[in-house]
Amino acid sequence: MGFYARSFAVLLLTSILSYVFTLIITKLAYRYQWFDKDPHQIKDSQLRIPSFGGIAIFLSFWIGVFVLFPNLLYSAEHLSLLLASIVIVITGLIDDVYELSPLKKTFGILLAANIVYFFTDVEFSSALLPVASPAVFNLVSYIATIVWIYLVTNSINLLDGLDGLASSVTATSLLSLAIITYFFSLSIRMTFLFMILLLLAAILGFLPHNWAPAKIYLGDTGALFIGFMYATLTVTNLKNASFYSLIVPVTLYAVPIFDFVYAFLRRMVNGQPVTEADQEHIHHRLLKLGLSEKKIVGLMISITLLFSGVAILANLLPSYRWLWAIVTLLMIFAMFLGMYMLSNKNSDNK
Euclidean distance between CA atoms 306 and 171, whole angstroms: 14
Task: Write the single-letter amino acid at 70.
Answer: P
Question: Comparing 25 with 181, which gets the higher pLDDT?
Answer: 25
The tens digit of pLDDT for each residue in 209-231 reads 999 889 999 999 999 999 999 99
The tens digit of pLDDT for each residue in 71-103 reads 999 999 999 999 999 999 999 999 998 888 889
pTM: 0.91
Question: Comparing 220 with 348, which gets the higher pLDDT?
Answer: 220
Largest CA distance in the chain: 63
Cis peptide before 213, with omega less than 30 degrees from 0? Answer: yes
Q: What is the pLDDT of residue 48?
A: 76
HSE of 104, CA atoms in CB hemisphere, 13 A: 10
The tens digit of pLDDT for each residue in 189-198 reads 889 899 999 9
Percent of the chain with pLDDT over 90: 54
Euclidean distance between CA atoms 296 and 291, whole angstroms: 6
Which range scores top for mean pLDDT: 124-128, 179-183, 197-201? 197-201
Question: Residue ranges of the domains in the chain?
Answer: 3-349
How many other C-beta atoms can be found within 10 angstroms of the C-beta atom of residue 143?
A: 11
Residue 348 pLDDT class (50, 70, 90 cuts)? low
**Residue 240 pLDDT greater than 60, yes or no:** no
Q: What is the pLDDT of residue 241?
A: 47
The tens digit of pLDDT for each residue in 95-131 reads 998 888 889 999 999 999 999 999 987 766 655 566 6
Strand boundaries in the chain, DSSP class E: none
Strand, coil or helix: 294 = helix
